[in-house]
Amino acid sequence: MRLKSNARIAISLVAASGMLAGFGGLSMGATTAHVRPVLTSQDTAAFYIIDDGIGFDPALWSWDAHEDQIGIFEGLVHFGPGDKPAPGIATSWSNNGKNGNGLVWTFHLRHNARFSNGDPVTAQDFVYSIERAVNPATAAATHHGSSWFGDVPLKNAPAIVAGTASASTLGVSAPNAYTVQFDLSAADPTLLQQLCLDPWQLPVDQRIVEKMPETDWTNPQDIVSDGPYMLKTYKTGISATLVPNPYYYQKVPLKQINLIYTTSTDGLLAFKNGAEQIALLSSTDVPAAESDPAIKKDLHWESAAIQYTFRVSPSKNPLLQDNQKVREAFEMAIDRQVITKRVMLNTGTPAYYSHIPSTIAPWVTKAGYYYNPKEAQKLLAQAGYPGGKGFPTVVLLDSGTTDPTAEAVQQMWETTLHVKVKLEMDEWGTFLTDLYKQLPANEVGFYQWGDNGTYPMLALPTSMSNIASVTWSWMPVDALPPAAYAKYYAINNDQSLKSTVRLAEENKLILSSIPKSDVNILELGVKADQTHNSTLMEKYIIDVGRLAYNLPVYTVRNGVLVDSNLKGYSPVIWWDTDSPVWMGYLHYQG
Amino acid sequence: MAQFIARRFLYMILAFVVISLVTYFLMKAAPGSFLAMNVGVNGASFGADQFQVSPQVMQSIINHYHLNAPWYVQWWGFVKGFVTLHMGTSFEYPNTPTLQLIEETFPVSLSLALISIAVGLAVAIPFGIIAAVRANSWVDSTTMFAAMTGTAIPSYIIAVFLILIFGVWTHLFPILGYQGAQYYVLPVLSLAIPMIGASSRYLRNSLIENLHSEYVTAIFARGGTLKDAVFGNALRNSLLPLITTIGPLLAGLMMGTVFIEEMFGLPGMGHIFVNAAGRRDYPLIMDSAMLYAVVIMIMNLLVDIIYGVLDPRIRRSGRMG
Amino acid sequence: MALVEIHNLRVRFETDEATIYAVNGIDLMVEPGQSIGIVGESGSGKSVSVTSIPRLLPRTARVEGSVYFNGKDMMRATASELQAIRGHQIGMIFQNPHAYLNPTRTIGKQLMEPLLFHHLAGVKRARAMGMEMLDRVGIVNPKARFDNYPFEFSGGMLQRVLIAMALITGPKLVIADEPTTALDVTVQAQILRLLKEMQRELGMSMIFVTHDLAVASQVSDVIYVMYGGIVVERLPAKQLIRVHRHPYLSGLLASLPRVDEPVGRLPFIPGLPVNTRQPLSGCPFYARCQWHLDQCQSAPPLTLVERDHEAACWLADERRVANGQPS
């Protein structure tokens, strides 16, 4: 999910290019037409999903909580087909946007919703659960991160997180047993999407959870949930089985769902065997699946909103930070078509903005620079490096053992720009350490990163006072000149500073060190966020993209095999997985 | 014998301390930390604000694992926790005690490894005998070629072949999950087949050597047949050294099962420990390294004890090499 | 009829690197009840010759000539016929008892093997016979020792066990291949005495292979002296000192330490042993012989020099060499 999946991308790239490459050729041998008998009954479905073993507590940020979201729990709303919000426990809702200031949302709950132990799901459960998730003490007790990100402007939430107000002051209330009311500090037109994305809105049974130790969240028999399915078994990192919640408010279509967690399982073979009804293909298995007449009809292409990008590395040499034309030249020298078609074998589509795929907002293509080798050479010559002469060595920092895309980019830069490109493959932990280190003065560079996508509206900076923290669109830290970056690095690593103090100092440093034009763009973004003005929003995103601090290469496109008899599947696009938006939709035809 | 075991036990304690120290320092020397890695890009500030690993959470992790304490306190904390079975939880699985993870997964991995060894030996022994008795004939070369081919192919490639043949084409065996003994068939074969080559070759050479030794000539001189020589005498003497290879074999398998468990979706401990190092999960790195060390040392000790019991020279004299 | 009749036996070993000409045509005869000694230095072919009788040579050996045991043509015998003879009618005693016993099997089990292999007794009876045999060869407390392992015995005790094992089936012939070489002198004497006693007692024939002339003369009726894969002299043991003819045998006798002389530097035969990697031509002792003639380039036949006494030397007959010295 989100940033965590960056690691997943890095890891899956390694896996795809390394070990799994060995399977590609072999799997092709499996393409002789064999009619796939259905081993499992028509009442069961199995698919791969990511697991991290943190536990199914919706108040914690984890992949298990993602599983909660798609049907183990059911919140006010959940994603429906096409990732649009659909009614959940709330059957209707209203926002006083037209008459008032848009600060109050009212959700009307269905009266027949029950937890898996038979307890009714009431508005009070929602209030309890959301307060519990926002309360920093909940996460602190578990040594793990909260699922509350502060993306929704619930009243008093920042004060509660900072520890200056009690959780009971949160802007969530229950006027009656079946009405939930949100009081916001600012209007939020994307609230429903946000609720679908975040597990903190999922209701837990107050009566049970109040007395439940955190360690019980990995024991199926102790977990009480309100979704269509409930956990029957759970084996960390291996598998889980789900069975219908006997108290669910409507008939649950499947008798059992098997969640497969193992990452080394070959999706194509598992699908052909009948062990999985929804299977994620590795890129090397795509040709085999496409040429197999027995399963070709089952192959679906789903874009995941994740972008493979290169970011400018910090360096003692100010060249890349100083010179936008040089950055543009490097972006123009990347042939995205060749990479997506020939290197990624169509498991990627060209990307033009680091956080927003063109499948979500087609206009983001304007934020990138298209492949143009002539222009790239010209720009580099104008910058004083005709034919790459005198240009410092370019370090391309990457993680894993091999990365065919990075190798292709290395080759493109060397042949088009005639610069020396050094590709450095680091182990993941080393990579995370190295990417903060300034390169020496005779080197400049880029590092590889995977960025999760989001809605354009959610990609805007919310305030000029928290620029130092990541905004979904852009990390202005990339723009810091060498001396300022060194200062930033020192502040950032100063453990003696309180986080609020550190953040304020970093913010001040960034705003005073980056080019004025960059500051203007940030101010435009904040304005767009505060006014919900879509024209300003587009302008901000295109402006940021054209600064070329990030060079987006491709958006991940997954080949997913879906049993032709299994209906109701629609993928979650926000995370690099083949999980369905809502398990409650899955059913067999007839 | 008792004295031997006692002395070996002392060595094991020493080795355990050394392994835990080496692991500790290597782990600390690796760049990056679990906190930094899970906090995400641009350091702690990001974690505090976006990833929501709040300062409170971070402080609680630091306190809980004594991450600011001197090295010997941290190291001793890990060792003491492991030895007293109070390992607590790891960074990666904050809500499941590590001991519980081990209890759930260790039997699967160990049984997978042991069954694979048993199956591997059950095939390797007849192969080795046939090849040795018909040494340098076509029977010998065919058997050894078949065995060595299995060894030359890594177990995960064999696994793919097995999945294709038994899972996709014939549907004879399940390929994913664990719901009964038939789920073990393909994983066990994947691990056993590569082992057969080395073991049968080892037995063949050892048996040939024995068959050419003087005591076998003496058996023939007493009127014994080849069968008397092999089954009455030489085989036992050739199997004895084979037993000593089981220790290292098991050590190798404990590592090798990781990938196979993942491929076949078996609930073994591989998947829990395999990423610990990559994620800088200090408690899990320490616990897994110490667990593997203890398991391998105990297995080697058991193998040596079994060897001693089977070899009268050692059993009677009470000395071991 | 002789018990063992060997005629023109030739053995060579063919390996990838070379061919070893180990035995280059020997004749040998053992009468029932007779004890013969075969004497020679290492590499002279004496062990290979006797191992050919029960056909126990390794697979690389190429054997020519004829070997008859008890009237049976051993060269044409089938595997099962050979197996029926080995250990039943021919017992073998080897040089190094530790090497020739399975280290992981008890003495008793190995001792019973000849009886069990040939179905001469059931396990219970074999056990009783084994204990009795152990007792006869002088093992104290055979009942306790029966279940001991070879490593729990001393070399001399183990050789007694080996003798018991060779004799337990009451064979017609016992082949003792340097049975005392690995033992110290006092034990050696005990073993020799034991062997001789047992041989007489059981009335069997014996072939005793040794490099030690003195030992051979103690236990044998007839002595064959081998050199370079051939028999250079055959003579009754009693006449050994007196009438030997071959210069090699003379050299051997001269190199024996004498009790009645002060201990000085022992005489020895100068030169190197025969190169067995080439086929034999002429007298094998030619290169080391101080009296060699041009004639010696062609092989001297083994000729009768007096009753029961043959020698293979051109000088042996013509010059009437007395005590090996040309007169």
Put simply, the chain C residues between 267 and 326 with a CB less than 8 A from any chain B CB are none
- CB contacts of C103 in chain B (<8 Å) are 215, 237, 312-313
CB A72 within 8 A of CB A56: yes
Rounded to a whole number, what is the largest CA-CA distance in chain B?
87
Burial zone of A249 (CB within 10 Å; 0-12 exposed, 13-18 middle, 19+ buried):
middle
Domains in chain C, CATH or no CATH each: 4-227 (3.40.50.300), 246-257+267-327 (no CATH)
Question: Above 70 in pLDDT, residue C209?
Answer: yes
Whether A530 contacts chain B with CB within 8 A = no
CB C282 within 8 A of CB C296: yes
Whether B262 contacts chain A with CB within 8 A = yes
- CB contacts of C165 in chain B (<8 Å) are 222
Q: What is the DSSP string of A406-438?
A: HHHHHHHHHHHH---EEEEEE-HHHHHHHTTSP
Return the pLDDT at C98: 86
Neighbours of chain B (3+ CB pairs under 8 A): A, C
- How many other CB atoms are there within 10 angstroms of residue A555's CB atom? 27
Per DSSP, C197 falls in state: H
Neighbours of chain A (3+ CB pairs under 8 A): B
A73 closest CA partner among A213, A256, A199, A214: A199
- CB contacts of B316 in chain C (<8 Å) are 149, 151-152
**Rounded to whole angstroms, how far apart are CA atoms C263 and A102?**
126
Whether C149 contacts chain B with CB within 8 A = yes
Quickly tell me which residue has 């089938």 as its tokens. Answer: C78
Q: Is C117–B224 a contact, with Cβ atoms under 8 angstroms apart?
A: yes
- List the single residue in B with minimal CA-CA distance to A139: B57
B222 closest CA partner among C92, C81, C53: C92
Burial zone of C252 (CB within 10 Å; 0-12 exposed, 13-18 middle, 19+ buried):
buried
- Measured between CA atoms, how close is B45 to chain A, in angstroms? 6
Amino acid occupying residue A43: D
CA distances from C38 to B71, B143, B308, C171, C238 (A): 77, 45, 43, 20, 15
Whether B137 contacts chain C with CB within 8 A = no
- List the single residue in B with minimal CA-CA distance to C82: B223
Q: Is A161–B163 a contact, with Cβ atoms under 8 angstroms apart?
A: no
- Measured between CA atoms, how close is B46 to chain A, in angstroms? 5
Put simply, the chain B residues between 190 and 249 with a CB less than 8 A from any chain A CB are none
B112 closest CA partner among B8, B42, B184, B160: B184
**Rounded to whole angstroms, how far apart are CA atoms A336 and A371?**
7
Return the pLDDT at A396: 96
**Rounded to whole angstroms, how far apart are CA atoms A346 and C172?**
88
Quickly tell me which residue has 């090499």 as its tokens. Answer: B321
CA distances from B264 to A16, A273, A384, B170, C109 (A): 18, 12, 57, 17, 50
pTM confidence score: 0.76
Return the pLDDT at A478: 84
Contacts of C222 by beta carbon, 8 Å cutoff, 6+ apart:
C34, C35, C36, C37, C234, C235, C236, C237, C308
**Rounded to whole angstroms, how far apart are CA atoms C305 and C301?**
11
- CB contacts of C114 in chain B (<8 Å) are 222-223
- How many other CB atoms are there within 10 angstroms of residue C73's CB atom? 12
- Residues B264-273 have a mean pLDDT of 82
Mean residue pLDDT across chain B: 82
Could you please state the CATH topology (level 3) that the domain comprising B104-269 is classified under: MetI-like fold (1.10.3720)
C17-69 confidence digits (pLDDT tens): 888 888 888 899 999 989 999 988 888 888 899 898 888 888 888 899 999 99
pLDDT along chain A (590 residues), means of 10: 35 32 31 38 85 88 90 96 90 83 93 96 96 89 80 89 90 96 89 90 95 89 96 89 96 93 82 89 83 88 87 94 94 96 90 89 93 95 93 93 92 96 88 88 92 81 78 70 92 77 87 92 91 92 93 91 91 79 90
Q: Is B218–C152 a contact, with Cβ atoms under 8 angstroms apart?
A: no
- List the single residue in B with minimal CA-CA distance to C164: B222
Whether B236 contacts chain C with CB within 8 A = yes
Q: Which of C51, C98, C112, C117 is the best mutation test for B, with the most CBs of B within 10 A? A: C117
**Rounded to whole angstroms, how far apart are CA atoms B256 and B154?**
10
Tell me the three state secondary structure of residue C7: strand
Q: Is B52–A275 a contact, with Cβ atoms under 8 angstroms apart?
A: no
Phi, psi of A477 (to 5 degrees): -55, -35
Burial zone of C42 (CB within 10 Å; 0-12 exposed, 13-18 middle, 19+ buried):
exposed
Which carries the bigger pLDDT value, residue B23 or residue B309? B23
Whether A464 contacts chain B with CB within 8 A = no
- Rounded (10°) CA dihedral B65, B69, B70, B76: -40
C129-156 confidence digits (pLDDT tens): 999 888 888 888 989 899 999 988 888 8
Contacts of A288 by beta carbon, 8 Å cutoff, 6+ apart:
A24, A27, A28, A30, A31, A268
- Binning chain B into helix, strand and coil, the percentages to the nearest 5 are 75, 0, 20
A88-126 confidence digits (pLDDT tens): 999 999 998 766 788 999 999 999 999 999 999 999 999
Return the pLDDT at A29: 31
Structure tokens at A484: 């300022």
CB A471 within 8 A of CB A528: no
Phi, psi of C305 (to 5 degrees): -100, -25
- List the single residue in A with minimal CA-CA distance to B154: A22
Q: What is the DSSP string of A30-75?
A: GGS-------S-TTEEEEE----SS-S-TTB-SHHHHHIIIIIS--
Return the pLDDT at A402: 87
Return the pLDDT at B19: 93
**Rounded to whole angstroms, how far apart are CA atoms C240 and C238?**
6
**Rounded to whole angstroms, how far apart are CA atoms C247 and C315?**
9
Residue C145 C-beta-side C-alpha neighbours within 13 Å: 22
Structure tokens at A486: 């060194």
Put simply, the chain B residues between 84 and 103 with a CB less than 8 A from any chain A CB are 89, 91-97, 101
CB A244 within 8 A of CB B121: no
CB A68 within 8 A of CB A227: yes
Whether C102 contacts chain B with CB within 8 A = yes
A532 closest CA partner among A187, A137, A279: A187
Whether B33 contacts chain C with CB within 8 A = no
Sequence-ordered strand ranges (E) for chain B: none
Neighbours of chain C (3+ CB pairs under 8 A): B
- How many other CB atoms are there within 10 angstroms of residue A418's CB atom? 15
Q: Is A434–B31 a contact, with Cβ atoms under 8 angstroms apart?
A: yes
- Which H helix or E strand runs over C207? strand C205-210
**Rounded to whole angstroms, how far apart are CA atoms A444 and A321?**
10
Q: What is the ipTM of this complex?
A: 0.84
**Rounded to whole angstroms, how far apart are CA atoms A508 and A523?**
14
Q: b or e along A185-217 (b: 16 or more beta carbons within 10 Å of the residue's beta carbon)? A: eebbebbbbbbbbbbbbbbbbbeebeebebbbb
Return the pLDDT at A22: 31
Mean residue pLDDT across chain C: 84
- CB contacts of B101 in chain A (<8 Å) are 236
The distance from CA A159 to its chain's CA centroid, rounded to whole angstroms, is 27
Burial zone of C169 (CB within 10 Å; 0-12 exposed, 13-18 middle, 19+ buried):
buried
Contacts of A341 by beta carbon, 8 Å cutoff, 6+ apart:
none
Question: Above 50 in pLDDT, residue B51?
Answer: no
Q: Which of C102, C123, C174 is the best mutation test for B, with the most CBs of B within 10 A? A: C102
CB A19 within 8 A of CB A408: no
Q: Is B312–C54 a contact, with Cβ atoms under 8 angstroms apart?
A: no
Whether B40 contacts chain A with CB within 8 A = yes
CB B188 within 8 A of CB B109: no
Tell me the three state secondary structure of residue A360: coil
Quickly tell me which residue has 């969530």 as its tokens. Answer: A172
CA distances from C125 to B5, C83, C130, C142 (A): 41, 22, 8, 15
Q: Is B219–C151 a contact, with Cβ atoms under 8 angstroms apart?
A: no
Tell me the three state secondary structure of residue A153: coil
**Rounded to whole angstroms, how far apart are CA atoms A147 and A186?**
21
Give me the residues paired with residue C325 across strands.
Answer: C322
**Rounded to whole angstroms, how far apart are CA atoms A125 and C14?**
93
Return the pLDDT at C261: 59
The distance from CA C300 to its chain's CA centroid, rounded to whole angstroms, is 24
Question: Above 70 in pLDDT, residue B121?
Answer: yes
- Measured between CA atoms, how close is C172 to chain B, in angstroms? 14
Q: Where are the domains of chain B?
A: 1-92+275-321, 104-269
**Rounded to whole angstroms, how far apart are CA atoms A228 and A223?**
14
B178 closest CA partner among A278, A255, A240, A256: A240
Q: Is B215–C117 a contact, with Cβ atoms under 8 angstroms apart?
A: no
Whether B240 contacts chain C with CB within 8 A = yes
Amino acid occupying residue C37: G
